[in-house]
Protein backbone atom coordinates (compact mmCIF):
# COMPACT_ATOMS: atom_id res chain seq x y z
CA UNK A 1 0.00 0.00 0.00
CA UNK A 2 2.81 2.43 0.72
CA UNK A 3 3.87 2.48 -2.94
CA UNK A 4 0.39 2.13 -4.49
CA UNK A 5 -0.10 5.71 -5.68
CA UNK A 6 -3.86 5.20 -5.53
CA UNK A 7 -5.95 2.56 -7.21
CA UNK A 8 -9.07 0.44 -6.95
CA UNK A 9 -10.20 -2.52 -4.89
CA UNK A 10 -13.17 -4.56 -6.05
CA UNK A 11 -14.68 -7.91 -5.30
CA UNK A 12 -17.13 -10.30 -6.83
CA UNK A 13 -19.10 -12.71 -4.67
CA UNK A 14 -20.80 -15.76 -6.17
CA UNK A 15 -22.37 -18.76 -4.44
CA UNK A 16 -19.10 -20.71 -4.76
CA UNK A 17 -16.28 -18.14 -4.50
CA UNK A 18 -15.05 -14.67 -3.67
CA UNK A 19 -12.80 -12.90 -6.17
CA UNK A 20 -10.78 -9.89 -5.06
CA UNK A 21 -9.06 -7.54 -7.51
CA UNK A 22 -6.69 -4.80 -6.41
CA UNK A 23 -5.16 -2.48 -9.01
CA UNK A 24 -2.75 0.35 -8.28
CA UNK A 25 -0.83 3.06 -10.09
CA UNK A 26 2.42 2.48 -8.22
CA UNK A 27 5.90 1.76 -9.52
CA UNK A 28 5.21 -1.92 -10.21
CA UNK A 29 7.06 -4.87 -8.71
CA UNK A 30 10.44 -5.43 -10.37
CA UNK A 31 10.98 -8.91 -8.87
CA UNK A 32 7.81 -10.81 -7.89
CA UNK A 33 9.75 -13.82 -6.57
CA UNK A 34 11.67 -11.56 -4.20
CA UNK A 35 8.50 -9.72 -3.16
CA UNK A 36 6.90 -13.08 -2.30
CA UNK A 37 9.59 -13.89 0.27
CA UNK A 38 8.34 -13.48 3.84
CA UNK A 39 9.97 -10.48 5.47
CA UNK A 40 11.08 -8.80 2.23
CA UNK A 41 10.06 -5.16 2.14
CA UNK A 42 11.02 -1.96 0.37
CA UNK A 43 9.39 0.16 3.10
CA UNK A 44 11.41 2.93 4.69
CA UNK A 45 12.22 2.88 8.41
CA UNK A 46 9.64 5.65 8.90
CA UNK A 47 6.89 3.49 7.38
CA UNK A 48 8.00 0.44 9.40
CA UNK A 49 7.75 2.52 12.59
CA UNK A 50 4.07 3.05 11.74
CA UNK A 51 3.56 -0.73 11.68
CA UNK A 52 3.61 -1.22 7.92
CA UNK A 53 6.16 -2.87 5.67
CA UNK A 54 6.62 -6.17 7.50
CA UNK A 55 6.88 -8.01 4.20
CA UNK A 56 4.01 -10.39 4.94
CA UNK A 57 1.22 -8.98 2.74
CA UNK A 58 1.74 -10.94 -0.48
CA UNK A 59 2.80 -14.19 1.24
CA UNK A 60 -0.28 -14.04 3.48
CA UNK A 61 -2.61 -13.36 0.56
CA UNK A 62 -1.16 -16.34 -1.31
CA UNK A 63 -1.37 -18.57 1.78
CA UNK A 64 -5.03 -17.76 2.37
CA UNK A 65 -6.25 -17.79 -1.25
CA UNK A 66 -7.03 -20.69 -3.53
CA UNK A 67 -5.54 -18.81 -6.47
CA UNK A 68 -3.50 -15.64 -6.68
CA UNK A 69 -2.27 -13.89 -9.81
CA UNK A 70 -0.03 -10.82 -9.94
CA UNK A 71 0.21 -8.80 -13.15
CA UNK A 72 2.76 -6.02 -12.83
CA UNK A 73 4.68 -3.66 -15.06
CA UNK A 74 7.54 -1.58 -13.72
CA UNK A 75 6.55 2.07 -13.99
CA UNK A 76 2.88 1.30 -14.65
CA UNK A 77 1.46 -0.41 -11.56
CA UNK A 78 0.23 -3.78 -10.37
CA UNK A 79 -2.98 -5.79 -10.52
CA UNK A 80 -3.46 -8.56 -7.97
CA UNK A 81 -6.32 -11.05 -8.27
CA UNK A 82 -7.11 -13.56 -5.53
CA UNK A 83 -9.86 -16.17 -5.40
CA UNK A 84 -11.22 -17.88 -2.32
CA UNK A 85 -13.50 -20.82 -2.96
CA UNK A 86 -16.28 -21.55 -0.45
CA UNK A 87 -16.60 -25.28 -1.14
CA UNK A 88 -13.76 -27.41 0.25
CA UNK A 89 -14.28 -29.90 -2.59
CA UNK A 90 -13.38 -27.19 -5.12
CA UNK A 91 -10.22 -25.94 -3.40
CA UNK A 92 -7.13 -26.25 -5.56
CA UNK A 93 -4.78 -25.95 -2.59
CA UNK A 94 -4.62 -28.01 0.57
CA UNK A 95 -6.34 -25.18 2.43
CA UNK A 96 -3.84 -25.55 5.26
CA UNK A 97 -3.53 -21.79 5.75
CA UNK A 98 -7.28 -21.17 5.70
CA UNK A 99 -7.93 -24.05 8.10
CA UNK A 100 -5.56 -22.49 10.61
CA UNK A 101 -7.30 -19.13 10.22
CA UNK A 102 -10.73 -20.71 10.77
CA UNK A 103 -9.76 -22.33 14.07
The arithmetic mean of pLDDT across residues 23-34, rounded, is 92
Handedness of CA 30, 35, 37, 42 (dihedral sign): positive
42 confidence band (pLDDT: 50, 70, 90): confident
Residues 6+ away with beta carbon under 8 Å from 100: none
Tens of pLDDT, residues 50-102? 877 777 889 999 999 999 999 999 999 999 999 999 986 445 555 544 444 44
pTM, entire model: 0.72
CA pair distance 87, 57, nearest whole angstrom = 24
Q: Where are the alpha helices (DSSP H) in 8-93?
A: 32-35, 45-49, 57-63
Third-level CATH fold of 7-102: Heat Shock Protein 90 (3.30.565)
Q: What is the pLDDT of residue 99?
A: 43
**pLDDT value at residue 47:** 80
Q: In terms of residues, how long is the chain?
A: 103
Q: Bigger pLDDT: 26 or 50? A: 26
Amino acid sequence: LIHAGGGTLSMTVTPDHLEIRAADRGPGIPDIALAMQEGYSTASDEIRELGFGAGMGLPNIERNSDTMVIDTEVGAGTVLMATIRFSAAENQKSGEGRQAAEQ
